[in-house]
Structure 1
Amino acid sequence: MDVQSALFISFVLAAATMCVTPGPDMLYVMSYGVSQGRAGGVAAAAGVAAGMLVHAVLSAFGVALLISQYPWLMMIFKGIGICYLVYLGLSIIRDKSDMAVDAKRAQRSYARIAYKAMMVNLMNPKVVVFYVAFLPQFTSPSGWPVPAQLFTLGVVFVTLGFAADATVGLASGALGKKFAENGTLTRKVNVSCGIVMFLLAAVLLLDI
């Protein structure tokens, strides 16, 4: 297995773990799935994905420009990324919030739901930090041009995120009730995902 393949597999594992971890976007999608039905949940998931795609484009070309001018920045980004993985692991494990949803939302058009979900994602500073700190550490100087690598990774992450969120939107009626009634289940999911983040941080640290 070459370096590029190993990096891509590591990225897919990390991205998939993040996408299935309960968080603000998933809660947002779930709330609309419960109150507006399957179509409302999928519309919210599409809006979140649209916001993530905008972040991916900005990150790919902005970060790539900096790295092309200052190659040593790659090591700094990798270091930040490792710290960010550790931070994510700690945050996920320490998160004791439940998956409660608000089922009292007024009926809204699906386009409006998607637009609002996109704006919520775009205005989240943590998403910007994620793309700037996380994606560059999975690029290789010997592969495609850095902008192409970052954009490809961004699209893969958006696709995985939409798949996870849309699934939650479709199944939110039953899934939302189950998590709301079983706090232990949410804790088990969080702890498991947090441990995966720590392991990925350790692997990436050895690669520096």
Structure 2
Amino acid sequence: MLELHTMLLFIGASTLLALSPGPDILFVLTQAMVRGSRSGIVIALGLCSGLIFHTTAVALGVAVIFQTSALAFSLLKFIGAGYLLYLAFMAFRDATKSKLNMTQPPLSLSTLYKRGILMNIANPKVSIFFLAFLPQFTNPALGNVTVQIFSLGALFMLSALVVFISVSLLAGRIGAWFMRTKNGEKILNRIAGTIFAALALKLALASR
């Protein structure tokens, strides 16, 4: 069982980390602006669900593979970079269409949720970060370390979810206002595409 002061310290650190500029919060921000707050919240749920994978990887020691195996690390990061490039392509493609010519139905909530999960899982640096971060708040004297790791992972997910939902609500309002301006949708899609492409490049160039 984690001590109260440890939990509070961890929640504070997790909240600050979730607020710092990174792939996940930028993903939520851009998608909420382009698709609305509800879509941003669903993607946030997907991203935080993906953290279960990384928490489990740390608890079971799998994250060490990403830290020590160049092949495993490179394979996963290039999958993630490729997916981000695909999202960038889709955003730029949507930017070339007017609202009147949009014939494709909006993405379903399940698709957005899966998109958030894949976006998070395909970044091996999250597992490596968790491997370095979570154990610092464990104490073998308090019981099973694996249980403590899962507890800390759950607290991190809750902290990140609160931050991401708040960002979604704010970004959704800004996006709704922007959509009412001339060419607002096209501009937002171009911004989103640029951010996705930049994140893909950053991930592809990432090292362990």
1:29 aligns with 2:24: no
- Deviations for 1:96-141, whole angstroms, at most 9, x for unmatched residues? xxxxxx7957731121111111111101021011111110011001
The amino acid across from 1:172 in the alignment is: A
Aligned-residue sequence identity (percent) comes to 30
What per-residue deviation string (whole Å, max 9, x for no partner) do you get for residues 131-182 of structure 1?
A: 11110011001102101100000000011111111111122134679xxxxx
Separation (CA, whole Å) in 2 of partners of 1:136 and 1:175: 38
**CA deviation after TM superposition for structure 1 residue 48, in Å:** 0.3
TM-score by length of 2: 0.59
Q: CA RMSD in A?
A: 2.6
**Alpha-carbon distance, 1:61 to partner:** 3.1
**Which residues in structure 2 correspond to 1:121-200 (within 5 Å)?**
121-174=120-173
2:71 aligned residue: none
2:12 aligned partner: 13
Q: Which residues in structure 2 correspond to 1:67-78 (within 5 Å)? A: none
1:77 is matched with none
Give, in angstroms, the shift of residue 57 of structure 1.
Answer: 2.1
- Unpaired segments ≥5 residues, structure 2: 65-90, 96-103, 178-208
Residue matched to 1:49: 48
Deviations 1:29-84 (A, max 9, x none): 11111111111111110110110122112222337xx9xxxxxxxxxxxxxxxxxx
Residue type at the aligned position of 1:114: Y
The whole-number CA distance in structure 1 between the counterparts of 2:138 and 2:22 is 26
Confirm or deny: 8 A CA contact 1:56 1:151 kept in the other structure.
yes
Unaligned segments of structure 1, at least 5 residues: 67-101, 178-208
Distance in 2 between the 1:110 and 1:4 partners? 37
Return the alpha-carbon distance in structure 1 between the equivalents of residues 7 and 46 of structure 2: 26
Give the length in aligned residue pairs. 139
Question: In structure 2, what is the equivalent of residue 117 of structure 1?
Answer: 116
Separation in 1 of the partners of 2:35 and 2:130?
A: 31
Q: Are 1:4 and 1:140, in contact at CA under 8 Å, matched by a contact in 2?
A: no
Counterpart of 1:162, as a letter, is: L
Q: Which amino acid aligns with 1:42?
A: I
Alignment TM-score, normalising by the size of structure 1? 0.59
One-letter identity of the residue aligned with 1:160: S
* Letter in structure 1 aligned against 2:121: L
Contact 1:168–1:175 at 8 Å: present in 2 too? no
